[in-house]
Amino acid sequence: MSVTIKDVEHIARLARLEFSPAEKEKFTHQLNRILEYVGKLNELDTSNVEPLSHVIELENKMREDVVRPGLSSEEALKNAPAKTDKFFKVPKTVKGDEGS
């Protein structure tokens, strides 16, 4: 498959670009060289290559879940600036119905 000046003009029109005749010649030559280079991939023997979803193989490294004791309420609240019996006390952040 070869790219022609007509193809470059069509692509330019789709992209709403304008090129001079010299630029059209230049892009035609460059696109044909790119296609030649990509065509070399067809020469590779890929019959023994498995298809991949990624370039590198990815594997999740999972660890076993281990049950561990958590903090007691007393330990969690030990350094709290304000607290009630078993809870952290924080400032009110939501306005009430008093007026908006």
> Over the stretch 7-38, which tens digit does the pLDDT of each residue have?
999 999 999 999 999 999 999 999 999 999 99
The residues, ordered by sequence, that sit 6+ positions from 86 with a Cβ below 8 Å of its Cβ are: 73, 77
Type of residue found at 18: E
> Over the stretch 45-57, which tens digit does the pLDDT of each residue have?
988 888 888 888 7
pLDDT at 73: 85
pTM: 0.47
All structural domains of the chain with their residue ranges: 5-42
Q: Following DSSP, what letter does each residue of 49-73 receive, concatenated?
A: PPP-SSSS----------------H
Q: Looking at the domain that runs over 5-42, which CATH code has it been given?
A: 1.10.20
